[in-house]
Structure 1
Protein backbone atom coordinates (compact mmCIF):
# COMPACT_ATOMS: atom_id res chain seq x y z
CA UNK A 1 0.00 0.00 0.00
CA UNK A 2 1.17 3.51 -0.80
CA UNK A 3 2.17 5.44 2.33
CA UNK A 4 3.73 8.68 1.02
CA UNK A 5 3.04 10.91 -1.98
CA UNK A 6 5.90 13.03 -3.36
CA UNK A 7 4.84 16.03 -5.42
CA UNK A 8 6.87 17.97 -7.93
CA UNK A 9 5.91 21.68 -7.85
CA UNK A 10 6.33 23.51 -11.16
CA UNK A 11 3.80 22.17 -13.64
CA UNK A 12 2.18 19.88 -11.06
CA UNK A 13 0.97 22.04 -8.19
CA UNK A 14 1.22 25.38 -9.93
CA UNK A 15 1.89 26.42 -13.49
CA UNK A 16 4.87 28.71 -13.07
CA UNK A 17 6.45 27.37 -16.26
CA UNK A 18 5.41 30.40 -18.38
CA UNK A 19 7.01 32.67 -15.76
CA UNK A 20 10.21 30.61 -15.73
CA UNK A 21 10.25 30.64 -19.52
CA UNK A 22 9.81 34.42 -19.64
CA UNK A 23 12.61 34.91 -17.11
CA UNK A 24 14.98 32.52 -18.87
CA UNK A 25 14.45 33.92 -22.37
CA UNK A 26 14.70 37.49 -21.12
CA UNK A 27 18.05 36.55 -19.61
CA UNK A 28 19.16 34.64 -22.72
CA UNK A 29 18.54 37.83 -24.72
CA UNK A 30 20.55 39.86 -22.18
CA UNK A 31 23.40 37.35 -22.48
CA UNK A 32 23.22 37.33 -26.27
CA UNK A 33 22.80 33.55 -26.54
CA UNK A 34 20.38 31.64 -28.75
CA UNK A 35 18.61 28.77 -27.02
CA UNK A 36 16.10 26.87 -29.15
CA UNK A 37 12.65 25.86 -27.95
CA UNK A 38 13.70 22.21 -28.20
CA UNK A 39 16.79 22.76 -26.08
CA UNK A 40 14.79 24.72 -23.52
CA UNK A 41 12.24 21.88 -23.32
CA UNK A 42 15.09 19.51 -22.43
CA UNK A 43 15.79 21.66 -19.34
CA UNK A 44 12.36 21.09 -17.78
CA UNK A 45 12.75 19.33 -14.44
CA UNK A 46 16.36 20.47 -14.06
CA UNK A 47 17.53 22.97 -11.46
CA UNK A 48 18.38 26.48 -12.63
CA UNK A 49 21.93 25.96 -11.38
CA UNK A 50 22.38 22.91 -13.57
CA UNK A 51 20.87 24.75 -16.54
CA UNK A 52 23.37 27.60 -16.21
CA UNK A 53 26.26 25.24 -15.58
CA UNK A 54 25.43 23.62 -18.91
CA UNK A 55 24.94 26.92 -20.75
CA UNK A 56 28.15 28.37 -19.31
CA UNK A 57 30.09 25.52 -20.87
CA UNK A 58 28.10 25.53 -24.11
CA UNK A 59 28.36 29.25 -24.79
CA UNK A 60 31.55 30.12 -22.91
CA UNK A 61 29.75 32.52 -20.59
CA UNK A 62 32.11 34.54 -18.42
CA UNK A 63 29.57 35.29 -15.67
CA UNK A 64 29.64 33.35 -12.44
CA UNK A 65 26.88 30.73 -12.15
CA UNK A 66 25.76 32.35 -8.87
CA UNK A 67 25.44 35.73 -10.60
CA UNK A 68 23.41 34.14 -13.40
CA UNK A 69 21.18 32.48 -10.82
CA UNK A 70 20.55 35.74 -8.98
CA UNK A 71 19.60 37.56 -12.18
CA UNK A 72 17.18 34.76 -13.17
CA UNK A 73 15.63 34.90 -9.70
CA UNK A 74 15.09 38.67 -9.94
CA UNK A 75 13.36 38.29 -13.31
CA UNK A 76 11.22 35.40 -12.03
CA UNK A 77 10.22 37.20 -8.82
CA UNK A 78 9.21 40.34 -10.71
CA UNK A 79 6.88 38.35 -12.95
CA UNK A 80 5.58 36.12 -10.12
CA UNK A 81 4.70 39.04 -7.86
CA UNK A 82 2.89 41.01 -10.56
CA UNK A 83 0.80 38.21 -12.09
CA UNK A 84 -2.69 38.35 -10.51
CA UNK A 85 -3.91 35.33 -12.51
CA UNK A 86 -1.44 32.86 -11.03
CA UNK A 87 -3.15 30.06 -9.12
CA UNK A 88 -2.83 26.39 -8.24
CA UNK A 89 -3.65 23.97 -11.03
CA UNK A 90 -7.23 22.81 -11.30
CA UNK A 91 -8.30 20.43 -8.50
CA UNK A 92 -4.81 20.25 -6.95
CA UNK A 93 -5.93 21.79 -3.65
CA UNK A 94 -8.84 19.36 -3.53
CA UNK A 95 -6.42 16.45 -3.92
CA UNK A 96 -4.09 17.86 -1.26
CA UNK A 97 -7.03 18.28 1.12
CA UNK A 98 -8.22 14.74 0.43
CA UNK A 99 -4.78 13.24 1.03
CA UNK A 100 -4.36 15.23 4.25
CA UNK A 101 -7.82 14.17 5.45
CA UNK A 102 -6.76 10.55 4.92
CA UNK A 103 -3.50 11.20 6.81
CA UNK A 104 -1.28 10.47 3.81
CA UNK A 105 2.15 12.10 4.38
CA UNK A 106 3.11 14.49 1.57
CA UNK A 107 6.58 15.61 0.52
CA UNK A 108 7.36 18.42 -1.92
CA UNK A 109 10.44 17.65 -4.05
CA UNK A 110 11.09 20.35 -6.63
CA UNK A 111 14.07 21.31 -8.75
CA UNK A 112 13.23 24.93 -7.91
CA UNK A 113 15.33 26.95 -5.50
CA UNK A 114 14.40 27.17 -1.82
CA UNK A 115 13.53 30.84 -2.35
CA UNK A 116 11.10 30.06 -5.18
CA UNK A 117 9.53 27.15 -3.29
CA UNK A 118 9.11 29.42 -0.26
CA UNK A 119 7.52 32.13 -2.39
CA UNK A 120 4.98 29.71 -3.87
CA UNK A 121 4.19 28.09 -0.51
CA UNK A 122 3.72 31.47 1.18
CA UNK A 123 1.46 32.89 -1.52
CA UNK A 124 -0.82 29.84 -1.65
CA UNK A 125 -0.64 28.59 1.94
CA UNK A 126 0.91 25.25 1.02
CA UNK A 127 3.23 24.82 4.02
CA UNK A 128 0.78 22.88 6.25
CA UNK A 129 0.27 20.19 3.62
CA UNK A 130 3.86 18.96 3.47
CA UNK A 131 5.85 17.13 6.14
CA UNK A 132 9.08 17.88 4.24
CA UNK A 133 10.18 20.19 1.43
CA UNK A 134 13.19 19.32 -0.74
CA UNK A 135 14.88 21.71 -3.17
CA UNK A 136 16.96 20.69 -6.16
CA UNK A 137 19.55 23.30 -5.24
CA UNK A 138 20.80 20.93 -2.53
CA UNK A 139 21.91 18.33 -5.07
CA UNK A 140 24.90 18.29 -7.38
CA UNK A 141 22.84 16.82 -10.23
CA UNK A 142 19.27 17.53 -11.29
CA UNK A 143 16.53 15.19 -12.40
CA UNK A 144 16.77 12.71 -14.19
CA UNK A 145 19.26 11.91 -11.41
CA UNK A 146 17.15 10.11 -8.76
CA UNK A 147 18.86 11.64 -5.68
CA UNK A 148 16.13 14.18 -4.92
CA UNK A 149 13.41 11.51 -4.79
CA UNK A 150 15.54 9.04 -2.89
CA UNK A 151 16.15 11.76 -0.31
CA UNK A 152 12.46 12.67 -0.18
CA UNK A 153 11.52 9.06 0.56
CA UNK A 154 14.24 8.81 3.22
CA UNK A 155 13.01 12.00 4.94
CA UNK A 156 9.50 10.56 5.03
CA UNK A 157 10.86 7.33 6.46
CA UNK A 158 9.03 5.40 3.75
CA UNK A 159 10.48 2.62 1.55
CA UNK A 160 10.55 3.67 -2.11
CA UNK A 161 8.21 0.74 -2.83
CA UNK A 162 5.54 2.50 -0.75
CA UNK A 163 5.91 5.95 -2.33
CA UNK A 164 4.33 7.61 -5.35
CA UNK A 165 5.80 10.54 -7.29
CA UNK A 166 3.61 12.93 -9.29
CA UNK A 167 5.56 14.56 -12.14
CA UNK A 168 4.93 16.43 -15.38
CA UNK A 169 8.37 16.37 -17.04
CA UNK A 170 10.31 13.64 -18.82
CA UNK A 171 13.31 14.33 -16.59
CA UNK A 172 11.15 14.07 -13.47
CA UNK A 173 9.53 10.81 -14.53
CA UNK A 174 12.94 9.35 -15.37
CA UNK A 175 14.24 10.40 -11.94
CA UNK A 176 11.31 8.76 -10.16
CA UNK A 177 11.75 5.50 -12.04
CA UNK A 178 15.53 5.54 -11.46
CA UNK A 179 14.75 5.87 -7.75
CA UNK A 180 12.51 2.81 -7.96
CA UNK A 181 9.34 4.79 -7.24
CA UNK A 182 5.91 4.39 -8.85
CA UNK A 183 5.29 7.49 -10.96
CA UNK A 184 2.08 9.21 -11.97
CA UNK A 185 2.70 11.41 -15.00
CA UNK A 186 0.56 14.51 -15.36
CA UNK A 187 0.15 15.34 -19.05
CA UNK A 188 0.06 19.07 -18.48
CA UNK A 189 -1.11 21.24 -21.39
CA UNK A 190 1.52 23.72 -20.18
CA UNK A 191 4.37 21.23 -20.58
CA UNK A 192 3.66 20.09 -24.13
CA UNK A 193 6.23 17.84 -25.77
CA UNK A 194 7.26 16.08 -22.55
CA UNK A 195 7.59 12.32 -23.08
CA UNK A 196 5.93 10.65 -20.10
CA UNK A 197 6.05 7.13 -21.53
CA UNK A 198 8.10 5.85 -18.58
CA UNK A 199 5.35 6.79 -16.10
CA UNK A 200 3.35 3.95 -14.56
CA UNK A 201 0.12 5.93 -14.95
CA UNK A 202 -0.68 9.07 -16.95
CA UNK A 203 -3.47 11.46 -16.01
CA UNK A 204 -4.91 14.43 -17.88
CA UNK A 205 -6.54 16.12 -14.87
CA UNK A 206 -6.19 15.93 -11.10
CA UNK A 207 -9.85 15.02 -10.74
CA UNK A 208 -8.72 11.53 -11.83
CA UNK A 209 -6.89 11.09 -8.50
CA UNK A 210 -8.01 10.72 -4.90
CA UNK A 211 -6.49 9.49 -1.66
CA UNK A 212 -8.41 6.23 -2.04
CA UNK A 213 -7.16 5.63 -5.58
CA UNK A 214 -3.56 6.43 -4.65
CA UNK A 215 -3.64 4.27 -1.52
CA UNK A 216 -4.94 1.38 -3.64
CA UNK A 217 -1.98 1.43 -6.06
CA UNK A 218 -0.14 -1.86 -6.08
CA UNK A 219 3.56 -1.76 -6.90
CA UNK A 220 5.41 -4.70 -8.43
Structure 2
Protein backbone atom coordinates (compact mmCIF):
# COMPACT_ATOMS: atom_id res chain seq x y z
CA UNK A 1 0.00 0.00 0.00
CA UNK A 2 1.55 3.33 -1.01
CA UNK A 3 1.98 5.87 1.76
CA UNK A 4 0.04 9.11 1.72
CA UNK A 5 3.09 11.28 1.56
CA UNK A 6 2.46 14.98 1.18
CA UNK A 7 3.28 16.49 -2.17
CA UNK A 8 6.27 18.85 -2.01
CA UNK A 9 5.12 22.41 -1.37
CA UNK A 10 7.80 24.68 -2.71
CA UNK A 11 5.96 27.77 -1.51
CA UNK A 12 6.40 26.51 2.02
CA UNK A 13 10.08 25.60 2.09
CA UNK A 14 11.45 27.47 -0.91
CA UNK A 15 14.60 25.36 -0.66
CA UNK A 16 16.03 22.86 -3.10
CA UNK A 17 18.02 20.04 -1.57
CA UNK A 18 21.74 20.76 -1.60
CA UNK A 19 23.54 17.43 -2.07
CA UNK A 20 26.77 18.96 -0.78
CA UNK A 21 25.36 19.74 2.64
CA UNK A 22 25.62 16.32 4.34
CA UNK A 23 29.38 16.06 3.82
CA UNK A 24 30.27 19.53 5.09
CA UNK A 25 29.73 18.78 8.76
CA UNK A 26 30.54 15.09 8.63
CA UNK A 27 31.71 13.92 12.04
CA UNK A 28 30.86 17.19 13.76
CA UNK A 29 28.39 17.16 16.63
CA UNK A 30 27.99 20.95 16.73
CA UNK A 31 24.30 21.82 16.87
CA UNK A 32 24.78 23.98 13.79
CA UNK A 33 26.33 21.05 11.87
CA UNK A 34 23.88 18.29 12.69
CA UNK A 35 21.73 16.41 10.22
CA UNK A 36 18.33 16.35 11.92
CA UNK A 37 14.76 15.29 11.35
CA UNK A 38 12.28 17.42 13.27
CA UNK A 39 9.03 15.52 13.73
CA UNK A 40 5.65 15.45 15.43
CA UNK A 41 2.88 12.92 15.91
CA UNK A 42 -0.86 13.19 16.40
CA UNK A 43 -2.49 10.34 18.31
CA UNK A 44 -5.77 8.82 19.43
CA UNK A 45 -5.06 10.11 22.94
CA UNK A 46 -2.41 10.79 25.54
CA UNK A 47 -2.12 7.36 27.19
CA UNK A 48 0.69 4.89 26.42
CA UNK A 49 -1.93 2.51 25.03
CA UNK A 50 -3.04 5.07 22.41
CA UNK A 51 -1.97 4.99 18.76
CA UNK A 52 -0.46 7.33 16.18
CA UNK A 53 -2.88 8.75 13.58
CA UNK A 54 -0.49 11.16 11.82
CA UNK A 55 3.26 11.69 11.65
CA UNK A 56 5.29 14.37 9.89
CA UNK A 57 8.96 15.26 9.61
CA UNK A 58 11.30 17.86 8.11
CA UNK A 59 14.99 17.35 7.42
CA UNK A 60 17.54 19.95 8.52
CA UNK A 61 21.20 19.88 7.50
CA UNK A 62 23.78 22.31 8.90
CA UNK A 63 21.17 24.73 10.15
CA UNK A 64 19.12 24.78 6.96
CA UNK A 65 15.86 23.22 5.87
CA UNK A 66 16.59 21.01 2.88
CA UNK A 67 13.04 20.93 1.52
CA UNK A 68 12.73 17.20 2.28
CA UNK A 69 9.53 16.43 4.13
CA UNK A 70 7.56 13.41 5.27
CA UNK A 71 3.86 13.39 6.08
CA UNK A 72 1.28 10.64 6.34
CA UNK A 73 -1.96 9.79 8.03
CA UNK A 74 -1.95 6.46 9.86
CA UNK A 75 -4.77 3.98 10.38
CA UNK A 76 -4.58 3.30 14.14
CA UNK A 77 -6.66 0.13 13.86
CA UNK A 78 -9.21 1.47 16.32
CA UNK A 79 -11.81 4.25 16.49
CA UNK A 80 -10.48 7.76 17.07
CA UNK A 81 -12.19 9.33 20.09
CA UNK A 82 -14.23 12.46 19.29
CA UNK A 83 -12.32 14.38 21.98
CA UNK A 84 -9.07 13.74 20.09
CA UNK A 85 -10.63 14.60 16.73
CA UNK A 86 -11.69 17.93 18.24
CA UNK A 87 -7.99 18.74 18.83
CA UNK A 88 -6.30 17.56 15.63
CA UNK A 89 -9.23 17.30 13.23
CA UNK A 90 -8.51 13.69 12.23
CA UNK A 91 -11.46 11.30 12.31
CA UNK A 92 -12.09 7.70 11.30
CA UNK A 93 -13.05 8.69 7.75
CA UNK A 94 -9.77 10.57 7.29
CA UNK A 95 -7.64 7.52 8.09
CA UNK A 96 -9.77 5.00 6.20
CA UNK A 97 -7.40 3.34 3.74
CA UNK A 98 -4.34 5.08 5.20
CA UNK A 99 -1.14 3.11 5.85
CA UNK A 100 -1.01 0.86 8.88
CA UNK A 101 1.24 1.86 11.76
CA UNK A 102 3.91 -0.62 10.64
CA UNK A 103 3.85 0.68 7.07
CA UNK A 104 4.01 4.32 8.14
CA UNK A 105 6.82 3.80 10.65
CA UNK A 106 8.88 1.75 8.22
CA UNK A 107 8.77 4.67 5.77
CA UNK A 108 9.48 7.21 8.51
CA UNK A 109 12.38 5.12 9.80
CA UNK A 110 13.89 5.19 6.31
CA UNK A 111 13.36 8.97 6.14
CA UNK A 112 15.13 9.47 9.49
CA UNK A 113 18.00 7.09 8.77
CA UNK A 114 20.74 8.05 11.28
CA UNK A 115 19.63 11.68 11.74
CA UNK A 116 19.22 13.29 15.14
CA UNK A 117 15.50 13.37 15.95
CA UNK A 118 14.08 16.62 17.33
CA UNK A 119 10.63 17.04 18.86
CA UNK A 120 8.80 19.31 21.28
CA UNK A 121 8.18 17.17 24.38
CA UNK A 122 10.24 14.42 22.81
CA UNK A 123 9.52 11.75 25.49
CA UNK A 124 5.88 11.79 24.36
CA UNK A 125 6.57 11.32 20.64
CA UNK A 126 9.53 8.99 21.11
CA UNK A 127 7.43 6.91 23.49
CA UNK A 128 4.92 6.24 20.73
CA UNK A 129 7.66 5.33 18.27
CA UNK A 130 9.43 3.01 20.69
CA UNK A 131 6.28 1.25 21.88
CA UNK A 132 5.50 0.48 18.23
CA UNK A 133 8.94 -0.98 17.52
CA UNK A 134 8.00 -4.66 18.07
CA UNK A 135 4.90 -4.30 15.89
CA UNK A 136 6.83 -2.54 13.11
CA UNK A 137 9.89 -4.78 13.39
CA UNK A 138 12.37 -1.91 13.61
CA UNK A 139 14.22 0.20 16.15
CA UNK A 140 14.43 3.97 16.61
CA UNK A 141 17.84 4.28 18.23
CA UNK A 142 18.49 7.80 16.91
CA UNK A 143 19.96 10.47 19.15
CA UNK A 144 17.27 12.90 20.34
CA UNK A 145 16.97 16.60 21.16
CA UNK A 146 13.96 18.16 22.86
CA UNK A 147 13.01 21.80 22.25
CA UNK A 148 11.32 21.89 25.66
CA UNK A 149 14.71 21.25 27.28
CA UNK A 150 16.51 23.62 24.92
CA UNK A 151 14.00 26.32 25.83
CA UNK A 152 14.59 25.68 29.55
CA UNK A 153 18.34 26.08 29.00
CA UNK A 154 17.71 29.62 27.74
CA UNK A 155 14.78 30.85 29.87
CA UNK A 156 14.96 28.61 32.93
CA UNK A 157 12.58 25.98 34.28
CA UNK A 158 10.10 28.49 35.70
CA UNK A 159 9.19 29.83 32.24
CA UNK A 160 6.36 28.32 30.21
CA UNK A 161 7.78 25.95 27.60
CA UNK A 162 4.72 25.02 25.55
CA UNK A 163 5.14 25.19 21.78
CA UNK A 164 2.85 28.22 21.69
CA UNK A 165 4.87 30.05 24.35
CA UNK A 166 8.19 29.19 22.72
CA UNK A 167 6.93 30.29 19.32
CA UNK A 168 5.72 33.60 20.72
CA UNK A 169 9.10 34.28 22.37
CA UNK A 170 10.93 33.51 19.13
CA UNK A 171 8.55 35.38 16.81
CA UNK A 172 7.23 32.26 15.09
CA UNK A 173 3.66 32.44 13.79
CA UNK A 174 1.71 29.18 13.67
CA UNK A 175 -1.40 29.56 11.50
CA UNK A 176 -4.43 28.53 13.60
CA UNK A 177 -5.42 25.89 11.06
CA UNK A 178 -1.91 24.35 11.27
CA UNK A 179 -1.72 24.09 15.06
CA UNK A 180 -2.15 20.53 16.32
CA UNK A 181 -1.46 19.09 12.89
CA UNK A 182 1.68 17.00 12.63
CA UNK A 183 3.23 19.10 9.87
CA UNK A 184 2.16 22.45 11.32
CA UNK A 185 3.71 21.66 14.69
CA UNK A 186 6.79 20.19 13.00
CA UNK A 187 7.40 23.39 11.05
CA UNK A 188 7.08 25.49 14.21
CA UNK A 189 9.43 23.17 16.12
CA UNK A 190 11.99 23.25 13.30
CA UNK A 191 11.94 27.05 13.22
CA UNK A 192 12.27 27.15 17.01
CA UNK A 193 15.31 24.86 16.95
CA UNK A 194 17.05 26.91 14.28
CA UNK A 195 16.44 30.14 16.21
CA UNK A 196 17.58 28.60 19.49
CA UNK A 197 21.00 27.53 18.17
CA UNK A 198 22.65 31.00 18.42
CA UNK A 199 21.24 31.56 21.93
CA UNK A 200 22.49 28.15 23.05
CA UNK A 201 25.94 28.78 21.58
CA UNK A 202 26.08 32.09 23.44
CA UNK A 203 25.63 30.12 26.68
CA UNK A 204 28.40 27.69 25.76
CA UNK A 205 26.02 24.92 24.64
CA UNK A 206 27.62 24.21 21.28
CA UNK A 207 27.46 20.47 20.65
CA UNK A 208 24.91 17.69 20.92
CA UNK A 209 26.82 16.39 23.93
CA UNK A 210 26.69 19.82 25.59
CA UNK A 211 22.91 19.91 25.12
CA UNK A 212 22.40 16.42 26.55
CA UNK A 213 24.60 17.17 29.56
CA UNK A 214 22.85 20.47 30.24
CA UNK A 215 19.48 18.80 29.77
CA UNK A 216 20.20 16.48 32.69
CA UNK A 217 19.96 19.52 34.96
CA UNK A 218 16.31 19.90 33.94
CA UNK A 219 15.06 16.36 34.51
CA UNK A 220 12.49 17.62 37.02
CA UNK A 221 10.88 19.45 34.09
CA UNK A 222 10.90 16.64 31.53
CA UNK A 223 12.63 13.30 31.00
CA UNK A 224 15.58 12.53 28.75
CA UNK A 225 14.30 11.02 25.49
CA UNK A 226 17.76 9.56 24.84
CA UNK A 227 17.07 7.07 27.63
CA UNK A 228 14.87 4.04 26.85
CA UNK A 229 11.62 3.50 28.64
TM-score (norm 2): 0.31
TM-score (norm 1): 0.32
**Greater share of helix:** 1
Relative contact order, higher structure (CA 8 A, sep 6+) = 1
